[in-house]
Structure 1
Amino acid sequence: MLAIFKNDLVVPPKELNSPASVESKQPEETLKEFLSSHANNAFSIGFVDKALIAYAPSERSFLAPQRLFCGVNDIYCIFIGGLHNLCTLNKQYGLSKVGNEAMFVIEAYRTLRDRGPYPAHQVLQDLDGSFGFVLYDHKDGTVFAALGGDENVKLFWGIGSDDSVVISDDVTLIKSSCAKSFAPFPTGCMFHNKEGLVSFEHPTNKLKAMPRVDSEGAMCGASFKVDVYSKVHSMPRVGSSADWSKWG
């Protein structure tokens, strides 16, 4: 999977940008590389000058996590992995029993955006399984990404040559596209383009940037870890103003 968001839509943590002066790629080059590596079964969607989303189904391997794509009313989600309690979640949110994980994320997002009383970290804590997803609400201009904490699914993010944010489960593609300005997406965390990066597993703790160097000693984009000694000033709010579109 591949998601690219322009810098006027998404501002990533500044530590993701490496000080090493290595040339990265334009979004169009990254998209071309992704599509050529999945020539028979990939597709992409462009959103004017805001975003690009590209998807290819999982390889036929028991070792490869499933990839799912869903789009409803200008909200798009790519989901990787699976949820053990999907049936329970669909019932809890009043959704179809046959809906898959990508559909659930979109419908849960819509419900909580419009009228839900639960903050995002509480919703994500209820997901039982290995998962990672990227959601884009084109009408609202919302980008929401999250990665579960069991490390069985991996996501990577980086910064392209035009300062776009690039997210993918393909580390080779990310390295090729973002050069030194990339890092693993932190486990147990969620990123919202209006509120930034937060741990949903430990929502009262701050995240700290961990410097990274490659095998040649060059600085790469920083990783992020929960700081067990530092607390945020307040708990994430619960109420109508604390939904997936504007949590804080």
Structure 2
Amino acid sequence: MLAVFEKSVSKPAKELSLPVGGGNRSEEIIEVFRSWRSDGTFYHLSSGNFLALSHQGENPAIPRSVVVIDDIFCIFSGALHNTCEMRRHYGLSRQATEAMIIVEAYKVLRDRAPYPPDQVVKDLQGKFAFILFDSKAPTLFLARDRDGGVQLYWGTAGDGSLVCSDDPNVISAACDKHYTPFPPGCIFINRRGLMSFDHPLNKVRGFMKEDDGRVIFKVDPYTRIPTIPRTGSAVNLANAV
């Protein structure tokens, strides 16, 4: 899977302190992915943003799927162990896929949930990574399971766009050396930033690795976030997404 969002939409987290200048521009990334993944399906959004999905080389234990509901696009990789429970929780049919569950969870969080985004993802059990984009808001929502069972990388392209992919070869071609693994057990919302869903009151910081100069992200046990809005749908709508 692949997603590219120009910087005014994605508002790359300041924690993603990778230099801009290497890698390709967004339109070049599309051509690279298309040349490598002939079965790829592209979803072109506004302002040059796009999502792409390919089943080439897919691990049967970590399938990829995509769904588009009410102008919300979600690419999901992996599998949930509590799918039935999540369907009942959100009032979905037995045919609802993992990607559909994620979209519904996001809609509840956006519109009426009295709980924060970390709780939404914490309830998911399994190995997964997902990229969700609400084109109306616009809101970008990324997450990866706490064990890092599914690969997800993010980085900056040559034009400053945020690039996300589960394929290290694809993101390396797109971003040169300006990418890093998305931290396990974390979520990113463009209006809020990067946070841990197991330790939502502690800041997630980027640290430079000495061996290769890349940035890795870890929960800082000594730095607490002052406040996290947790009640009131109007507050959640303005602050959580």
- Where on the TM-score scale, by shorter chain, does this alignment land: which range? over 0.9
Give the superposition deviation at 1:97: 1.4
* Structure-2 residue corresponding to 1:32: 31
Partner Cα distance (1:94, 1:145) in 2? 23
Give the superposition deviation at 1:152: 1.1
Structure 1 residue 189 and structure 2 residue 195: aligned?
no
Give the superposition deviation at 1:58: 5.7
Alignment match of 1:46 (pick from 36, 44, 47) = 44
Partner Cα distance (2:29, 2:144) in 1? 22
- Mark the runs of 5 or more structure 2 residues left unpaired by the alignment: none
Cα distance per residue 1:57-115 (max 9 Å; x no partner): 263544x5111100011100000111111111111111111101001111121122112
Alignment match of 1:238 (pick from 224, 231, 235) = 231
Partner Cα distance (2:83, 2:235) in 1? 23
Structure 1 residue 89 and structure 2 residue 82: aligned?
no
Q: Which amino acid in the other structure matches residue 103 of structure 1?
A: M
Structure 1 residue 223 and structure 2 residue 222: aligned?
no
Q: Which amino acid in the other structure matches residue 173 of structure 1?
A: V
Partner Cα distance (2:70, 2:190) in 1? 20
Q: Which amino acid in the other structure matches residue 233 of structure 2?
A: S
> CA distance change for structure 1 residues 238 and 58 in 2, over 3 Å: closer, same or farther?
farther
Structure 1 residue 67 and structure 2 residue 60: aligned?
no
Partner Cα distance (1:157, 1:69) in 2? 19
* Structure-1 residue corresponding to 2:3: 3
Cα distance per residue 1:154-198 (max 9 Å; x no partner): 100000011000000011111111112111001111101111111
- Bigger mean CA deviation after superposition, 138-147 or 115-124: 115-124
Q: How many residues align?
A: 241
- Mark the runs of 5 or more structure 1 residues left unpaired by the alignment: none
Give the superposition deviation at 1:47: 1.4
Q: 1:163 aligns to what SS in structure 2?
A: coil
Partner Cα distance (1:97, 1:104) in 2? 11
Cα distance per residue 1:8-33 (max 9 Å; x no partner): 111223353435x8631011111111
Q: Alignment RMSD, CA only?
A: 2.0
8 Å CA contact 1:58–1:65 kept in 2: the answer is no
Structure 1 residue 169 and structure 2 residue 170: aligned?
no
- Bigger mean CA deviation after superposition, 225-234 or 108-117: 108-117
Partner Cα distance (2:63, 2:182) in 1? 18
Q: 2:10 aligns to what SS in structure 1?
A: coil
Give the superposition deviation at 1:42: 1.1
Provide the TM-score with structure 2 as the length reference: 0.92
8 Å CA contact 2:186–2:196 kept in 1: the answer is yes
* Structure-2 residue corresponding to 1:129: 126
Partner Cα distance (1:29, 1:101) in 2? 31
Q: 2:115 aligns to what SS in structure 1?
A: coil
Q: 1:49 aligns to what SS in structure 2?
A: helix
Cα distance per residue 1:136-164 (max 9 Å; x no partner): 01111011111111121110000001100
Q: Percent identity?
A: 39
Partner Cα distance (2:188, 2:58) in 1? 30
Partner Cα distance (1:98, 1:190) in 2? 26
Partner Cα distance (1:174, 1:212) in 2? 19
Partner Cα distance (1:223, 1:11) in 2? 19
More helix by share: 2
Partner Cα distance (1:244, 1:108) in 2? 14
Q: 1:116 aligns to what SS in structure 2?
A: coil
Provide the TM-score with structure 1 as the length reference: 0.90
